[in-house]
Amino acid sequence: MSEPNQEKLDAFLGKMVGDLGAIATGAGVLLGDRLGLFKALREGGKMTAVELSTRTGTQERLVREWLSGQAAAGYVDYDEASDKFYLNAEQELVFADENSPAFMAGAFEFLSALWLDEEKVRQAFQSGKGVGWHDHSACLFRGTERFFRPGYNANLIDSWLPALEGVVEKLERGVDVADVGCGHGASTVLMAQAFPNSRFVGFDYHAPSIERARKAAEVAGVGVNTRFDVAAAKSYTGTYDLVTFFDCLHDMGDPTGAATHVHGSLKPDGTWMIFEPFAHDHLAANLNPVGRVYYAASTFVCTPASVSQEVGLALGAQAGEARLRKVVTGGGFKRLRRAAETPFNMVLEARP
């Protein structure tokens, strides 16, 4: 073993301090989100710890410690002269506004499942049996919806669907749509609200998520043109003009089999919209902050989920377009193009 370079070691330890602080502060974000502390700060403006604790019905000394930690992280601002804490405009969008495209509190709920389910994943590493999506803690299901919904709100209707050839015009006239792997139904409900002349069916194999989606549709008032059924990607029924897969193809054990089923369920001029994490085709190009998050999530959730299934192809959350293309064309599709992308996701359009 070579002797360490002290300067490089000091720099690496400094990075570790930053990473440990981020991990510890993340638990505080989850705590503040669940207790309503961020939203109360947004509504109340500058407040002392006493004022925030009174407003939220929490214990003042604990609230002050939480505020201090969030301020040290730069997640909350502190005015020393008045001894008051507050959220600036950017912090409000990230932590307190669920409808903001920059809202990130849901991501912390999602990531908490990685810690809670570490033992299950560790056992999967040793047994090779994987961990099914349904075997994870419930915070994964809630957090996934809250993490993706702001992006859907910002892009789905105005950017991603218009990027598909002729799809918006069909939706406006009225067509049949299947949203496969719909989870809690955030994407399904949003499309149903935007296109009341079309008919939407959300499918997911996870029954508790379907129950949650049905309630969301009822609250949103889209029950007339929307329904949710328990079904897997290779067994859902019906014939559709548009089939959507939001962040789920790479989780499947047999994505090529799913692609084949989609091909069979589409009308001759139909479209398959595939929403996947953004990734380059080579590992070295994905070694960046976005790849860091996705590889971590994929290690604990996506890849074990695929391994637990029948074929277990295990694409992972950083599959890249080339591997996805192989899956899609293996299912019988002749045309595939990247219709849109963000720094976090890409939208692929497949046609029979």
Q: What string of DSSP letters covers 107-149?
A: HHHHHHHHHHTHHHHHHHHHHS----GGGS-HHHHHHHHHHHH
Our CA angle for 350, 254, 289, nearest 5°, is 75
Q: How confident is the model at residue 71 (pLDDT cuts 50, 70, 90)?
A: very high
Residue 157 DSSP code: I
CATH code for 6-95? 1.10.10.10
User: Strands 176-180, 345-351: parallel, antiparallel or unpaired by DSSP?
Assistant: unpaired
Only one residue has tokens 């407003």, namely 55
| Domain-wise residue ranges, the chain | 6-95, 105-351
pLDDT digits (tens, 9 = 90+) for 118-170: 999 999 999 999 999 999 999 999 999 999 999 999 999 999 999 999 999 99
b/e code 298-333 from CB counts within 10 Å (16+ = b): bebbbbbbbbbbeebbbbbbbbbbebbbebbeebeb
Q: How many CB atoms are located within 10 Å of the residue 61 CB?
A: 11
6-95 and 105-351 agree in CATH topology: no
Both structure tokens of 320: 């890249």
pLDDT digits (tens, 9 = 90+) for 223-264: 899 999 999 999 999 999 999 999 999 999 999 999 999 999
Class for domain 105-351, per CATH? alpha beta
Total residue length of the chain = 352
- Calpha distance 188→183 (Å, rounded): 9
